[in-house]
Amino acid sequence: MEEFQTHTLPNGLRLIYRPTQSAVSYCGFTVNAGTRDEDEDYSGLAHFVEHTIFKGTTHRRASHILNRMEVVGGELNAYTSKEETVVYSVFPGAHLARAMQLLGDLVADSQFPERELCKEREVVVDEINSYRDTPSELIYDEFESSLFEGCSLGRNILGDVDSLTRITSDVARRFLTDYYTPENMVFFFMGSTSFNRVRGLAERYFGHLCRPKKELSRELKPFVESFSRTVNRDTHQSHVIIGARAYDLFDKRRRPLLLLNNLLGGPGMNSVLNVSLREKRGYVYTVESSVTSYTDTGLFTVYFGTDHRYAQRCIDLVKRELKRVREQRLSPAKLAAAKRQFMGQIEVSTDHSENVALALGKSFLRYGRFDSLEEIASLMERITADDILEVANELLSEDRLSMLIYE
């Protein structure tokens, strides 16, 4: 089947369509707005708007929105990141018009009634408190806040209790009007309905949306000095993050970094760090490395949790493995094996259709395309051992790395 088709409505809204033979369809909006687009006084606004966009429109009450897709076996969902908000639906394919009409209503006419905002504040406060009780998640945000200190990328997605109380219906509507604009969004679809049908419904339900494009203002502060900080949180075990700023979404060096990351601490049980810390020594249950990329910068981290008495040993082991990848070039056999594993994992992940649909929207928003497995494999095949060595030395040098410890 053809990989994807695209179309742009007269109002500037871009559509991306990917055909499948599944009876289940996915569609939604990927909005180029997130935590870093909030005013400083309204920390958590993007996430709160995502929560309350379902609480009533000009045409529907919250209860009507709640039931609209559920009664046909579908569902509505949404999430917020530092740079995107996604609102989408999963449903039996026969109910596409119902889903698109509802989604168009949400992004165009959400009203954010105060009585609903009051109730949802309590829900988000509970989410914040639950999050604070999970050190393995909290440490990521605290590390990122330190690494991007002084700019909006350092803000917590959930915000805080004080800022939530300042968010009114007018504030929420203004954020929606400013950022949920046709030129600032992508509509994605994945399913068996024809492209012409999807395009026609998009023109009917989204074509009327007419809001001026707001220019994004995403300031990035210069690099902060590397730091090493220990925070006493009276946790059952030590939680440790080691990392540094990395490459943005458009940097070609990001590809060898992704391959290196997968080799070091990716999901495979045979990752270098998992073998060293868990399989050989039994020091940890979880150790992982990750790469997060934004439009103008990025982040590489290694995380593990361990018994307090093993924390320093694990830190030393992680640093030893990072030193090894800076100094030792991968052999042709190991490089080929790393590429084979990485591509195999991507191929397996495509069996999760919802993730593929969400990736479809983000990829088109950022790159204006969606790469096939063959195209990804071709790009990965060009990566050399020297490329990986260069990235390792640039990003993982001892003086560049920062560390945060919870104990």
Q: Are 159 and 272 in the same domain?
A: no
Q: Are 241 and 341 in the same domain?
A: yes
Residue 218 lies in a domain: no
Structure-block tokens of residue 184? 């600032």
Query: Tell me, what's the pLDDT at 224?
Result: 79
Residue 216 lies in a domain: no
Domain boundary, last residue among 156, 177, 207:
207
Among 36-40, 129-133, 199-203, whose mean pLDDT is lowest?
129-133
C-beta neighbour count of 324 within 10 angstroms = 13
Average pLDDT over residues 96-118: 97
* pLDDT interval class at 318 (50, 70, 90): very high
Inter-residue contact 368 to 361 (CB < 8 Å): no
3-state secondary structure the chain: CCCCEEEECCCCCEEEEEECCCCEEEEEEEECCCHHHCCHHHCCHHHHHHHHCCCEECCCEHHHHHHHCHHHCCEEEEEECCCCEEEEEEEEHHHHHHHHHHHHHHHHHECCCHHHHHHHHHHHHHHHHHHHCCHHHHHHHHHHHHHCCCCHHHCCCCCCHHHHHCCCHHHHHHHHHHHCCHHHEEEEEEECCCHHHHHHHHHHHHCCCCCCCCCCCCCCCCCCCCCEEEECCCCCCEEEEEEEEECCCCCCCHHHHHHHHHHHHCCCCCCHHHHHHHHCCCCEEEEEEEEEECCCCEEEEEEEEECHHHHHHHHHHHHHHHHHHHHCCCCHHHHHHHHHHHHHHHHHHCCCHHHHHHHHHHHHHHHCCCCCHHHHHHHHHCCCHHHHHHHHHHHCCCCCCEEEEEC
Domain count, the chain: 2
Q: Give the torsion through C-alpha atoms of 196, 356, 96, 47, to 10 deg.
A: -120
**Residue 156, domain extent:** 5-207
Query: Tell me, what's the pLDDT at 217?
Result: 86
Determine what percent of the chain is predicted with pLDDT higher than 70.
Answer: 100
336 Cβ contact partners less than 8 Å away, ≥ 6 residues apart: none
Domain boundary, last residue among 207, 241, 268:
207
Q: Give 343-393 pLDDT, tens digit per residue.
A: 999 999 999 999 999 999 999 999 999 999 999 999 999 999 999 999 999
What mean pLDDT, rounded, does the chain reach? 96
149 Cβ contact partners less than 8 Å away, ≥ 6 residues apart: 221, 224
Q: What is the CATH number of the domain that holds 381?
A: 3.30.830.10
Residue 153 lies in a domain: yes
How many residues does the structure list for the chain?
407
Q: Are 25 and 128 in the same domain?
A: yes
Q: Are 245 and 376 in the same domain?
A: yes
With a cut of 80, say whether residue 91 has pLDDT above it: yes
Rounded CA separation 152/46 (Å): 12
* pLDDT interval class at 57 (50, 70, 90): very high
Amino acid sitting at position 6: T
Sheet containing strand 298-306, strands side by side? 228-231, 402-406, 238-246, 298-306, 284-293
Structure-block tokens of residue 158? 């959930």
Q: Are 310 and 174 in the same domain?
A: no
* pLDDT interval class at 2 (50, 70, 90): low
Q: Give 204-228 pLDDT, tens digit per residue.
A: 999 999 999 888 888 888 877 899 9
Q: Are 234 and 173 in the same domain?
A: no
Average pLDDT over residues 313-328: 98
Cα–Cα distances in Å, from 401 out to 57, 244, 341? Answer: 48, 5, 27
* pLDDT interval class at 1 (50, 70, 90): very low
Q: Are 49 and 144 in the same domain?
A: yes
Residue 220 lies in a domain: no
Rounded CA separation 102/290 (Å): 36
Q: Are 10 and 40 in the same domain?
A: yes
Q: Give 147-187 pLDDT, tens digit per residue.
A: 999 899 999 999 999 999 999 999 999 999 999 999 999 99
Q: Are 386 and 352 in the same domain?
A: yes
Q: Are 194 and 162 in the same domain?
A: yes
Query: Tell me, what's the pLDDT at 216?
Result: 87
Residue 130 burial by CB count (10 A; 0-12/13-18/19+): exposed, middle or buried?
A: exposed
Residue 217 lies in a domain: no
Q: Are 52 and 93 in the same domain?
A: yes
Determine what percent of the chain is predicted with pLDDT higher than 90.
Answer: 94
Residue 70 lies in a domain: yes
Rounded CA separation 277/265 (Å): 11
Average pLDDT over residues 270-282: 98
Rounded CA separation 118/66 (Å): 18
With a cut of 90, say whether residue 66 has pLDDT above it: yes
Rounded CA separation 362/295 (Å): 12
Q: Are 195 and 281 in the same domain?
A: no
